[in-house]
Amino acid sequence: MKNVSNYYEAIDEDSRFSRNSRKIEFLTTNHVLKNLIPEKARILDVGAGAGAYSFYYAERNHQIVAIDLTPKHIEIINEKSIQTGLDLEAYVENAIDLSRFDSESFDFVFCFGPMYHITSLDDRKACINECLRVLKKGGHLAIAYINKYSVIPMLVTRDQRFIRNSVIEKVINEGVIIAGDKDCFWTDAYFTSPDEIEAILREFDVLPVNHVGTDGISHTIQEYVDKLGDDEFKSWLSYHFQTCMERSILGLSTHGLYICQKR
């Protein structure tokens, strides 16, 4: 995972949700989770990035523990914790090994970043196993992923150098790109589909709760969404909230969120 950590050391992840087209993922995630998280829950934020979700829920009186692979992100979280006076725990850890934490010690687990970058199936299953191990029975796990069917349309609007058959083959049939390969347009990454993420979770002792396309096509058509005025964006967000659970929208959304409950 060194390629992934090095990538995030070099970019400004803290500004990820600054634009409307990107913020819609954050807003939708919180919209669908708000009725599932109990009051004053103990939440583990796995792959917390610079702490956008950690601080959002800390401000709402939840007990937050954040981990991330990238040391810079943990430094940012610790600095913000001091600045805001919000008491968060934050550690540099790998999502496939949560041995720092006791079994059944969290009410809710967010896994919002790891599935983007865990390229090994065994490691993905290890990550899910660990998230479920530290989760209390009856607690919820929310897993974010990148939908492979959104990737090529996104590249058409961002970098047409990668619109070629070899890239399409990797994204659609392999679901993995590795930093340094000629067909890599990001860093080590894993792309899946709504059906595939549901299939892998059926291997675990969980109950499906919800499955949402958290940004729909907003990320793909970002330049248009970012130009919307405040009232227009509110209307777009209303449309999105009404449609983000539709199966057809889920199949196009750049980011998906699968929520399940531990039996």
Q: How many domains would you assign to the chain?
A: 1
How far from chain centre, in Å, is Cα 155? 20
> pLDDT over 70 for what percent of the chain?
100
> pLDDT over 90 for what percent of the chain?
97
58 vs 254: CA distance, rounded Å? 27
CATH of the domain at 106: 3.40.50.150
This prediction's pTM: 0.97
Q: Give me the pLDDT at residue 5, please.
A: 94
Contact 176, 119 (CB under 8 A): yes
| Whether the predicted pLDDT of 1 surpasses 90 | no
Question: What's the rounded mean pLDDT across residues 15-19?
Answer: 92
What pLDDT digit, counting tens, does each position of 87-116 carry? Answer: 999 999 999 999 999 999 999 999 999 999
Residues 6+ apart with CB under 8 A from 86: 55, 58, 59, 80
Between CA 252 and CA 260, with CA 254 as vertex, the angle to 5 degrees is 90
59 vs 55: CA distance, rounded Å? 6
CB half-sphere exposure, 20, CA atoms < 13 A: 19
Question: What are the percentages of helix, strand and coil residues in the chain, rounded to 5?
Answer: 45, 20, 35
Would you state the structure tokens that stand for residue 178, as one six-digit string? 């590795």
Domain span at 136: 2-262
Q: Give me the pLDDT at residue 192, please.
A: 98
